[in-house]
Amino acid sequence: MSGHSTYEPKTGVERWLDTRLPIVRFMYDTALDFPTPKNLNYWWTFGGILALMLGIQLVTGIVLAMHYVPHVDHAFASVERIMRDVNYGWLIRYMHANGASMFFLAVYLHMFRGLYYGSYKAPREVLWILGCVIYLAMMATAFIGYVLPWGQMSFHGAVVITNLIGALPIVGEPITTLLWGGPAVDNPTLNRFFSLHYLLPFVIAGVVILHIWALHVPGNNNPTGVNVKSKADTVPFHPYYTVKDGFAIAVFLLLYAAFVFYNPNVLGHADNYIPANPLVTPAHIVPEWYFLPFYAILRAVPDKLGGVLLMFGAIGVMFVLPWLDTSKVRSMRYRPTARLYFFIFAFFCLVLGYCGGQLPDDPVLGSPSGLKLLDADINSFVWLSRVATVYYFAYFLVILPILGLTEKPLPVPESISEPVLSHPATTPAGAVASPEKRG
Amino acid sequence: MLRKGIALAALGLALVGGPALAAGGHQEIHPQSWSFDGPFGKFDTAQLQRGYKVYREVCAACHSMNLVYFRNLGQPGGPFYDPKYKNPNDNPYVKALAADIQVNDIDSETGDVIQRPAIPADKFPSPFPNDAAAAASNGGAVPPDLSVITKARTGGPDYIYSLLVGYKTPPAGLKIGPGQNYNAAMPGDLSAFWSGDHKKVPPGGFLAMPPQLAPDKVTFDDGTKSTVEQQAKDVTAFLAWAAEPKQIERKSFGFGAMIYLLIFTVLLYFSYRRVWRNVAH
Ligand code: HEM
């Protein structure tokens, strides 16, 4: 898509097709010949992993949908029937359920990679925003998918989340009614959720294509953050990155397989093996682990509408990040102060995730301090969530905008291949101009 | 410098406020070693057979198992699997076990509701026609379906076992409501019912199910001594099998998949080293 194509049709059929629909040329240029910076590290392998996970979710999902019954009286039993009577149904279903978790694990690492190496900065703003759109659609898909087995967490999670949307002014109520298809979460809800759960992954696939298109115009960022200057800085995608991504994918699959085969329910919640019962509310309604940071932000705010707005704001702020970060230097390798704040940010994201799984009023350490601040003891998860939430937003809205203007970054290398001679320690290991013989 | 200082202080604060275990109602769980534990665990067929007997003779009076069919008993990995009968519906032992139980049907001639002996293709019948009837016979509490109970409770089989052996004499000072029973493994918070030292709230909670197991309540055909612990352990193993009859298949299939992936990973690693050997990066 960018630069000049080196594809040469080899067979008659390819030549014939090339003058009519140059699809083989397109695939060759995108997937085989694409010039890729030669210094990408393993944090760059998650893109390929994500594409594979989307494929796995689509294939396993379509097979599940052949056996699944979207009806409140049959959904739970139909999922169990998949586990018990469908040939390799247990494999398909556990791959799908754990696949969602692995998908999120990969997307989070992929996003932190982007945050650290400044991949959201010009000229990759649209690429970054498309990524945020994919992430939003993934959250919607996963939330809706979790409702389908119609267990206790499915049902009560659906009630809690749809009610949140109802808190929004003006649009809230009509949206909830549309989602419910009636006065409450019931059979019509399950029906339309199934339909949407089938639809959204294909929407994601479409946005993924745009995302890759937007990637191939400016090309990959890289750990130094400096632009590709010459051909010496790049290698063709195939075989160099097909093999490197392939290796990373295999390692990732090992982890995935360990969950699927040896601990398939550890990431889920036991209550979701109890068929949904609107009359019995589970003691603690907790979302899947990948939503916990946002759940903590939601509960950090005493006011429901405020919480909802802040929760959506936490994702919204990522959309405008390219214009919030004022630094011209992409990679945090050369921004030591920003790097420190980044690691604190990552740490607080984990803290938020942890808080999201706890009861807000429980003490974080030992027993309650007895010191009440506003509505809760200061030694409580709700206060820890508040501290972390403040940092989360401050990172985007205060730290990155100011830091870019005040910090003194380290010297940035001239190019990917040529290190800055005065600062050899800050260059990527082995990045020397003359290729050494290894292996 | 100042900026770094603030950042470090923030990090320090976060570490101090780091995760800790929450206090609250606690339970007495006795972790067991199960034959089906771990990546190579397998079900103990004799134990599953004893467990089925406990379920059938004790628990089935109150608890349904709606997702389990008699044929499941004779499928590979099941309690009465016999390699001679690839189709569990032909297994004479399973047929006999099913025929011991009456199930409802409709007489196709008259349309009347009738009872007939079960066949392997039938589900385990429910002891009550509906939840209202189940609640009415059990002091208002509906006995939960046991098909996937070991997956549906935090703690899994260890919890179920601990619950079945967890009926202890309630400590003095604990107020027990009518129709309720004290159990040291049941989740809950007893502080509100406890008049003793508020630092020593007893573990466990209340449930409507009275103690079900007693020495020699079930006679095991293989001569195993029928203690409460033995019955609890065997019925729990049976319930763990019923909750996921394919779990042994899953683990053994997984072993092959892991080996395959491992070899694949190593091959890819060396291909990667070879492809990149002339590139400084
Ligand atoms: C973006 C990709 C996808 C994600 C993140 C996702 C996520 C999920 C999740 C979290 C569940 C609940 C798992 C459980 O606890 O059982 C689920 C269930 C389900 N999904 Fe998906 N899914 C995706 C794609 C698809 C597709 C493409 C289809 C079909 C066309 C599909 C069909 C189903 C069905 C039938 C169920 C119910 C069965 C079950 O609960 O295991 N999914 N999905």
Closest CA to A361 of A349, A350, A348, A374: A374
A439 to B274: CB separation less than 8 angstroms, yes or no: yes
Query: CA–CA separation, B32 vs B42, rounded Å?
Result: 15
- Compute the nearest-CA separation of B224 from chain A (Å): 30
Residues B145, B150, B153, B159: is their CA dihedral positive or negative?
A: positive
Find the length of chain B: 281
| Element housing B116 (H / E) | strand B113-117
**What does R_g of chain A's alpha carbons equal in angstroms?**
24
The residue ranges of chain B whose pLDDT is under 70 are 1-24, 281
**Alpha helices for chain B (secondary structure H):** 2-16, 45-57, 92-99, 131-137, 156-164, 228-243, 247-275
- Compute the nearest-CA separation of B241 from chain A (Å): 11
Closest CA to A65 of A35, A45, A85, A92: A92
Tokens 């010039």 map to which residue?
A35
The torsion defined by the Cα of B221, B224, B226 and B232, in degrees rounded to 10, comes to -100
CA of residue A46 to ligand 1 center, whole Å = 21
- Per residue in A92-141, pLDDT (tens digit) is 999 999 999 999 999 999 999 999 999 999 999 999 999 999 999 999 99
Q: Is A287 in the pocket of ligand 1 (CB under 6 A)?
A: no
A387 to B13: CB separation less than 8 angstroms, yes or no: yes
- The alpha carbon of residue A338 and the mean position of all alpha carbons in its chain are separated, in whole angstroms, by 22
- Note whether B67 contacts A: Cβ–Cβ < 8 A: yes
From chain B, the residues in CB contact with A351 under 8 A are 14, 17-18
- Note whether A271 contacts B: Cβ–Cβ < 8 A: yes
Tokens 């203007």 map to which residue?
A405
**Alpha helices for A9-45 (secondary structure H):** 12-18, 23-27
φ/ψ of A281, rounded to 5, equals -95, 130
- Note whether B246 contacts A: Cβ–Cβ < 8 A: yes
Closest CA to A298 of A118, A167, A133, A430: A167
Which of A231, A247, A347, A387 to probe the B interface (max B CBs under 10 A)?
A247
CA of residue A161 to ligand 1 center, whole Å = 18
φ/ψ of A432, rounded to 5, equals -110, 155
**CB distance A276 to A151 below 8 Å:** yes
A247 to B272: CB separation less than 8 angstroms, yes or no: yes
Residue A274, CA distances (Å) to A157, A359, A432, B128, B154 in order: 14, 22, 60, 19, 12
Q: Is B258 exposed, middle or buried (0-12, 13-18, 19+ CB in 10 A)?
A: middle
- The amino acid that residue A99 corresponds to is G
From chain B, the residues in CB contact with A270 under 8 A are 151-154, 156
Structure tokens at B52: 């089925």
**CB distance A360 to A381 below 8 Å:** yes
Q: Is A93 in the pocket of ligand 1 (CB under 6 A)?
A: yes
Q: Is A249 in the pocket of ligand 1 (CB under 6 A)?
A: no
Of A246, A261, A262, the CB nearest to B268: A246
- Compute the nearest-CA separation of B258 from chain A (Å): 7
**CB distance B6 to A399 below 8 Å:** no
Q: Is A25 in the pocket of ligand 1 (CB under 6 A)?
A: no
- Compute the nearest-CA separation of B262 from chain A (Å): 7
Q: Which of A58, A59, A64 to mutate to test the pocket of ligand 1 (most atoms within 8 A of CB)?
A: A64
A337 to B151: CB separation less than 8 angstroms, yes or no: no
* pLDDT of amino acid A417: 87
Predicted complex ipTM: 0.90
Q: How many CB atoms lie within 10 A of CB B172?
A: 7
From chain B, the residues in CB contact with A239 under 8 A are 275
φ/ψ of A236, rounded to 5, equals -65, 145
For A193-260, the DSSP string reads HHHHHHHHHHHHHHHHHHHHHHHHTT----TT-PPP-SGGGEEEHHHHHHHHHHHHHHHHHHHHHHHH
* pLDDT of amino acid A381: 96
A250 to B261: CB separation less than 8 angstroms, yes or no: yes
Strands B205-207 and B181-183: antiparallel
**CB distance A207 to A137 below 8 Å:** yes
- Per residue in B199-224, pLDDT (tens digit) is 889 999 999 999 999 999 999 999 99
From chain A, the residues in CB contact with B276 under 8 A are 240, 243-244, 438-439
- Note whether B152 contacts A: Cβ–Cβ < 8 A: yes
Query: CA–CA separation, B166 vs B26, rounded Å?
Result: 13
- Note whether A32 contacts B: Cβ–Cβ < 8 A: no
CA of residue A285 to ligand 1 center, whole Å = 20
Structure tokens at B109: 């001639």
Residue A237, CA distances (Å) to A5, A196, A405, A431, B12 in order: 14, 35, 36, 18, 43
- The alpha carbon of residue B6 and the mean position of all alpha carbons in its chain are separated, in whole angstroms, by 50
Q: DSSP code of B71?
A: G
Q: Is A100 in the pocket of ligand 1 (CB under 6 A)?
A: yes
Tens digit of each residue's pLDDT, chain A (439 residues): 445 788 999 899 999 999 999 999 999 988 888 999 999 999 999 999 999 999 999 999 999 999 999 999 999 999 999 999 999 999 999 999 999 999 999 999 999 999 999 999 999 999 999 999 999 999 999 999 999 999 999 999 999 999 999 999 999 999 999 999 999 999 999 999 999 999 999 999 999 999 999 999 999 999 999 999 999 999 999 999 999 999 999 999 999 999 999 999 999 999 999 999 999 999 899 999 999 999 999 999 999 999 999 999 999 999 999 999 999 999 999 999 999 999 999 999 999 999 999 999 999 988 888 888 888 999 999 999 999 999 999 999 999 999 999 999 999 999 998 764 444 444 444 444 333 333 3
Of A257, A344, A358, the CB nearest to B10: A344
Residue B22, CA distances (Å) to A387, A391, B205 in order: 19, 24, 18
CB pairs under 8 A between A and B: 155
From chain B, the residues in CB contact with A228 under 8 A are none
Query: CA–CA separation, A115 vs A41, rounded Å?
Result: 15
CA of residue A202 to ligand 1 center, whole Å = 13
CA of residue A92 to ligand 1 center, whole Å = 10
Residue B223 region, left (φ>0) first, then alpha (ψ -120 to 50), else beta? left
Atom number, ligand 1, closest to the C-alpha of residue A137: 1
Which residues 333-392 on chain A approach chain B with CB closer than 8 angstroms? 337, 340-341, 343-344, 347-348, 351, 354, 358-359, 362-367, 384, 387-388, 391
Q: Tell me the CB-side half-sphere exposure of residue A311, using CA atoms within 13 A.
A: 26
Residue A263, CA distances (Å) to A102, B40, B148, B254 in order: 13, 13, 16, 11
Closest CA to A71 of A201, A157, A194: A194
Atom number, ligand 1, closest to the C-alpha of residue A202: 27
CA of residue A97 to ligand 1 center, whole Å = 7
Structure tokens at A132: 């945020």
CA of residue A149 to ligand 1 center, whole Å = 9
Question: What 3-state DSSP class applies to B22?
Answer: coil
- Compute the nearest-CA separation of A258 from chain B (Å): 8
| Element housing A128 (H / E) | helix A125-147
Question: What 3-state DSSP class applies to B84?
Answer: coil
Question: What 3-state DSSP class applies to A36?
Answer: strand
Q: Is A199 in the pocket of ligand 1 (CB under 6 A)?
A: no
**CB distance B128 to B137 below 8 Å:** yes
φ/ψ of A9, rounded to 5, equals -60, 135
Which residues 92-121 on chain A approach chain B with CB closer than 8 angstroms? 94
Tokens 């694409």 map to which residue?
A34
CA of residue A61 to ligand 1 center, whole Å = 5
Query: CA–CA separation, A48 vs A86, rounded Å?
Result: 31
* pLDDT of amino acid A3: 54
Of A77, A257, A343, the CB nearest to B254: A257
